[in-house]
Amino acid sequence: MDTPSTPRPLTDPGGDDPSPGARGLDHVLTLIAAPGTDALSAPAVDAVRAALGRLGAEDDRPRWLASGEACDIAFAGLAPDQAEGVARTALGDAPVDVLAQPTADRRKALLIADMDSTIVTSETLDDLAEHAGLRDRIAGITRRAMNGELDFADALRERVAMLAGLSEEAFARTWAETRLTPGARALVATMKANGACCLLVSGGFRYFTAKVAEQCGFDDHVSNDVVIENGRLTGAVVEPVRDRRAKLATLVEHAGRLRLPMARTLAVGDGANDLPMLMAAGLGVAFHARPAVSAEARAVVRHGDLTALLFAQGYTRDAFRERA
């Protein structure tokens, strides 16, 4: 894997301070509605502010990041989990994600992203198994592995062994059906335009991570590979398997290489093998994640697309980029 260049100094293309705390308000609560909804109305935001005040929090007027879609409320006097709980109660069943965090180091300079069911909408190994007539059997193992019920490396070896004899042409057919998650390009392009380093780290296969990295503009990618002989899968994985330890190591190593405190790192993923890096990052986001992962992760996005990670950093909608 190539060594990414040192990030450029971070800037704020939106023109506003991404860490509102002018009155000593050292935390920020970000409310992010599901795309295409009107769930985040001004009255809904007022209800959240009133609920914060009833618990003794001091807050500031909302800073809208996107009209009707996302806003920041700077606050002090409550712990982040308290503020999130109060906000979720005030919002009821509205499809709005709630993230509370310190205002310091809010803009991140390193992104480590999972691929399957995160940057792309599907599990590419399950999709590959479709071409062997084994989707249901392999998808069942995938679900258990992503829920943390099985050792990831063993589960990967088991699934790949089941694909022995599959033509390597199935990779191209699978890729033709693979779709990027909405907001993936904007997430990477906007962070890179503001000096961040962006890495794709997957337990999936290099064939797919290479193409996803190129389409989204990731600086590099880390993933697994399979053994192919005479145009067909042998059923073996190239060792060592890149698992949860590899994802965490990539985060830690690149933060060190770029001389970044962990507070300035962002990790996103959906499966149990992502949890160590989510817990270690300054902002670790469980994205439309498995229940076991959402229960453990500090930040959870259930409704928004990947641009929620930009709103979480204080970027305004008009600052989003599609190309770095």
The one-letter amino acid code at 137 reads R
**Taking the domains of the chain in order of start, what are their residue ranges?**
20-103, 106-324
295 CB burial (10 A radius; 0-12, 13-18, 19+): exposed
Would you say residue 13 has pLDDT above 70? no
CATH fold of the domain at 20-103 = Alpha-Beta Plaits (3.30.70)
What is the end-to-end Cα distance of the chain in Å, rounded? 21
At the second CATH level, the architecture of 106-324 is 3-Layer(aba) Sandwich (3.40)
Structural contact between residues 52 and 116, judged by C-beta atoms closer than 8 angstroms: no
Helix (H, G, I), strand (E, B) or coil at 17: coil
Beta strands across the sheet bearing 265-269: 220-224, 197-205, 110-113, 265-269, 283-287, 299-301
Residue 7: is its pLDDT beyond 70?
A: no
Q: What is the pLDDT of residue 23?
A: 64
**pLDDT band for position 9 (50/70/90)?**
very low
Q: What whole-number distance in Å separates Cα of residue 299 and Cα of residue 279? A: 10
Share of the chain above pLDDT 90, in %: 90
| Stretch among 10-14, 90-94, 111-115, 260-264 having the lowest mean pLDDT | 10-14
Report pLDDT for 89: 97
What's the pLDDT score for residue 232? 98
Active-site residue set:
114, 116
SS3 265: strand
pLDDT in tens, 214-235: 999 999 999 999 999 999 999 9
57 Cβ partners below 8 Å, 6+ apart?
A: 75, 76, 77, 78, 83
pLDDT digits (tens, 9 = 90+) for 164-173: 999 999 999 9
Q: What contacts 6, CB < 8 A, 6 or more positions away? A: 258, 259
